């Protein structure tokens, strides 16, 4: 299961997943439900965050990439943020992009329009997506395979179809 935790825009960090619902300068400025922006932050440079928009990416493809980025020396605990469970990269995200995203056609490439740069000062409402320890343990299990992770991912998507207010939302896909 995942949780949405409202944070200030200054708390946005690389290697985490966020939902940006209000962004000044876009039309419409606020996007909810199917339109909400789910992003995986690759890097942060000055007042800009570089991201991959997850809405149109197959969740299994994305979690397979995360599985490859797992820092296995860090044990999964109750208070882990996703970024603490992934290998460390420079804050600018260049190495992460060049080594793991650019060459991954399921995540990035021709025909995909999911690379985004957001100005931090234009972000009004943002939520960090956090995951329960049990979900992270299942997702990152050392002996798991893409086929054994798929049911876990589908269950997570079904559970997150309703946010805390009872409104129907879509998970990153």
The phi, psi pair for 159, rounded to 5°, reads -65, -30
pLDDT digits (tens, 9 = 90+) for 120-162: 999 999 999 998 888 888 888 655 556 666 676 676 666 656 5
Q: What is the mean pLDDT of the chain?
A: 84
The span from the CA of 76 to the CA of 139, in Å, is 11
Residues 51-75 pLDDT 10s? 999 998 999 999 999 999 999 899 8
Q: Is residue 20 part of a domain?
A: yes
Return the bridge partners of 3, or none: 130
| Structural domain includes residue 121 | yes
Determine contact, residues 27/100, Cβ cutoff 8 Å: no
Higher pLDDT, 6 or 163: 6
Count structural domains, the chain: 1
Which structural domain range is residue 136 located in? 2-159
Please check whether residue 107 lies inside any domain of the structure. yes
Spell out the alpha helix ranges (H) of the chain. 59-69, 82-85, 94-96, 133-139, 146-159
- Domain membership flag for residue 170: no
Between CA 149 and CA 87 the distance in angstroms is 20
Q: Under a CB-based contact definition with an 8 Å cutoff, are residues 14 and 137 in contact?
A: no
pLDDT per position as a tens digit, 18-34: 999 999 988 788 887 77
């Amino acid at each position: 299961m995942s949780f949405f935790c409202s944070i200030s825009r200054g708390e946005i960090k690389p290697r985490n997943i966020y939902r940006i619902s209000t962004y000044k300068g876009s039309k419409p400025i606020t996007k909810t439900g199917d339109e909400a922006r789910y992003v995986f932050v690759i890097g942060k440079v000055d007042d800009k965050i570089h991201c991959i928009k997850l809405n149109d990416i197959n969740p299994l493809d994305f979690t397979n990439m995360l599985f490859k980025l797992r820092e296995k020396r860090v044990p999964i605990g109750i208070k882990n943020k996703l970024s603490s469970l992934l290998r460390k990269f420079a804050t600018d995200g260049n190495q992460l992009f060049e080594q793991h995203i650019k060459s991954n056609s399921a995540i990035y490439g021709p025909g995909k329009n999911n690379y985004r740069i957001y100005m931090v000062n234009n972000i009004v409402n943002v939520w960090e997506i956090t995951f329960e320890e049990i979900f992270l343990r299942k997702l990152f299990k050392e002996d798991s395979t893409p086929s054994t992770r798929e049911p876990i991912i589908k269950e997570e998507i079904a559970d997150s179809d309703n946010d805390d207010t009872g409104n129907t939302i879509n998970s990153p896909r």
